[in-house]
């Protein structure tokens, strides 16, 4: 049984298979072709943090594959009253076929997976957001072809998205340039030896973005860090992706943002809405890529149709 708790839980071959399935599943969706490989299968979603894209893409996705879902939030379940995660895992996983969890520390999802009878998907933790990077790498390839040998510039917080981009860099063999304000660097304890050669740190965000094939950023304050919002606004003031920054990237560079975005903070409205921005494709591809992921976790590799 496989889980998807970090991006590096899958090999490059597995991602290539998933991208092939994503293309087919997306084409079926666009042509209104009914495809129900997960008929009668049940996905439990556990949200300990807010969500729009993850909630809608997983719920719509499992339904479109013939299954259904249950949405659980901390406040409405016994999790909110302190039921141990190991107990919750043993109970939920006896009743459903697949679990997606959005929570705080990565250790919570690892403890859940250790006690789960069914595959577990990381729908975002403080450390990683593998489903988003799955969709983002797919989106890059859709627009520009192979990502190997390319340069991705990460501007801003060395957060869950940034750490997951680095895991993808080692798997797909691209370079990650990261520029973060002092005190907000990527978490070194999460970086493996295999990932180190793929990372270059920059003090100046313009230098990180120079000649990049993809420029990407995220909110200055991630979920769970709201108490630091004012301080972060001051510390990140020089880290906005704007037209001037996109101008030093390659002329065909794409702009990505996992959303939700704060126009005028981490990205200017001009860049977010501009011709290089593929943020809406990224969001849509969450649906298609996660349908491929759910199919793979439940059924394994299927004969290509
Ligand atoms: N990008 C993303 O995961 O969005 P939500 O927080 O809306 O799920
Ligand atoms: N880094 C952000 C991503 C939101 C999708 C957060 O964790 O809040």
Beta partners for 215?
Answer: 153, 255
In this structure, the strands spanning 175-179 and 151-155 are parallel
Ligand 2 centre from 132 Cα, in Å?
Answer: 10
Q: Which pLDDT band, with edges at 50, 70 and 90, does 303 fall under?
A: confident
Which atom belonging to ligand 2 lies closest to the Cα atom of 159? 1
What are the residues whose beta carbons fall under 8 Å from the beta carbon of 86, sequence distance 6 or more?
Answer: 111, 112, 114, 115
CA separation for the pair 64, 54 (Å, rounded): 15
Res 216: pLDDT: 98
Coil, helix or strand for 47? strand
Q: Please say if the pLDDT value at position 60 is more than 80.
A: yes
CA of 257 to the centre of ligand 1 (A): 10
Does the pLDDT value for residue 305 go beyond 70?
no
Residue 219 scores a pLDDT above 90: yes
Running DSSP on this structure, what letter comes out for residue 241?
A: B
Ligand nearest to the CA of 50: 1
Residue 283 pLDDT grade (very low, low, confident, very high; cuts 50, 70, 90): very high
Give tens-digit pLDDT for 70-116: 999 999 999 999 999 999 999 999 999 999 999 999 999 999 999 99
pLDDT of 168 > 80? The answer is: yes
Partners of residue 244 on adjacent β-strands: none
Mean pLDDT of 156-161: 98
Q: What angle do CA 42, 46, 50 make, to 5 degrees?
A: 130
Closest approach atom of ligand 1 to CA 131: 3
Instruction: Enumerate the active-site residues.
Output: 102, 129, 132, 218, 258, 286
Angstrom distance (rounded) from CA 214 to CA 200? 15
Residues 6+ apart with CB under 8 A from 273: none
Ligand number, closest to the Cα atom of 59: 1
pLDDT at 7 over 80: yes
**Would you say the CB of residue 259 lies under 6 angstroms from ligand 1?**
yes
> To the nearest whole number, what is the mean pLDDT of the chain?
98
Distances (CA, A) of 240 to 56, 206, 209, 244, 267: 28, 10, 11, 10, 5
CA of 121 to the centre of ligand 2 (A): 16
User: What domains appear along the chain, each with residue ranges and CATH number?
Assistant: 7-129+283-299 (3.40.50.1370), 132-278 (3.40.50.1370)
Q: Cβ(192) to ligand 1 under 6 A?
A: no
* Ligand 2 binding residues, C-beta < 6 A: 124, 159-161, 218-219, 222-223, 258
Does the Cβ of 221 fall within 6 Å of ligand 1?
Answer: no
Q: Nearest ligand to the C-alpha of residue 258?
A: 1
Q: What ligand 2 atom has the least distance to the C-alpha of 221?
A: 8
CB distance 218 to 157 below 8 Å: yes
Query: Which one of 222, 259, 272 would you pick to mutate in the ligand 1 pocket, going by the greatest count of ligand atoms within 8 A of its CB?
Result: 259
219 CA to centre of ligand 2 in angstroms: 7
Q: How confident is the model at residue 304 (pLDDT cuts 50, 70, 90)?
A: confident
Task: Read off the pLDDT of each residue in 160-180 and give the average, rounded to a whole number.
Answer: 98
Report how far residue 101's alpha carbon sits from residue 125's, in angstroms, rounded to the nearest whole number.
Answer: 8
Q: Which atom of ligand 1 is found nearest the CA of 50?
A: 6
Determine which residue's CA is closest to atom 7 belonging to ligand 2.
222
φ and ψ at 131, to 5 degrees? -65, -35
Contact 36, 65 (CB under 8 A): yes
Give residue 131's pLDDT.
Answer: 99
pLDDT digits 0-9 by tens, 13-55: 999 999 999 999 999 999 999 999 999 999 999 999 999 999 9
Judged by its nearest atom, the ligand closest to the C-alpha of residue 219 is 2
Ligand 2 binding pocket mutation candidate from 51, 58, 134, 161 (most atoms within 8 A of CB):
161
Q: Is 124 in the pocket of ligand 1 (CB under 6 A)?
A: yes
pTM of the model: 0.98
Percent of the chain at pLDDT > 90 equals: 99
């Amino acid at each position: 049984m496989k889980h998807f708790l970090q991006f590096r839980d899958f090999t490059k071959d597995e991602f290539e298979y998933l991208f092939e399935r994503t293309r087919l599943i997306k084409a079926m969706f666009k042509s209104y072709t009914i495809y129900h490989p997960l008929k009668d299968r049940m996905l439990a979603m556990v949200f300990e943090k807010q969500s729009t894209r993850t909630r809608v893409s997983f719920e719509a996705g499992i339904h479109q594959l013939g299954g259904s879902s249950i949405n659980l939030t901390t406040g409405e379940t016994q999790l909110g009253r302190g039921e141990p995660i190991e107990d919750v895992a043993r109970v939920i996983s006896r009743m459903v076929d697949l679990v997606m969890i959005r929570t705080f520390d990565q250790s919570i999802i690892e403890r859940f997976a250790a006690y789960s009878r069914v595959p577990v998907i990381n729908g975002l933790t403080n450390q990683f957001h593998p489903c988003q990077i799955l969709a983002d790498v797919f989106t890059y390839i859709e627009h520009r072809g192979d990502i190997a040998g390319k340069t991705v510039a990460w501007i801003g917080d060395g957060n869950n998205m940034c750490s997951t981009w680095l895991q993808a860099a080692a798997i797909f063999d691209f370079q990650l340039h990261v520029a973060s304000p002092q005190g907000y660097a990527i978490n070194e304890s999460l970086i493996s030896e295999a990932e180190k050669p793929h990372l270059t740190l920059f003090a100046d965000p313009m230098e990180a973005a120079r000649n990049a094939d993809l420029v990407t950023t995220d909110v200055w304050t991630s979920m769970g860090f709201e108490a630091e919002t004012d301080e972060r606004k001051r510390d990140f003031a020089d880290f906005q992706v704007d037209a001037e920054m996109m101008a030093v990237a390659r002329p065909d560079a794409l702009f990505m943002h996992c959303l939700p975005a704060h126009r005028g903070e981490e990205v200017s409205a001009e860049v977010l809405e501009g011709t290089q921005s593929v943020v809406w494709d990224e969001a849509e591809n969450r649906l298609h890529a996660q349908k491929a992921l759910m199919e793979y976790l439940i059924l394994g590799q299927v004969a290509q149709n």
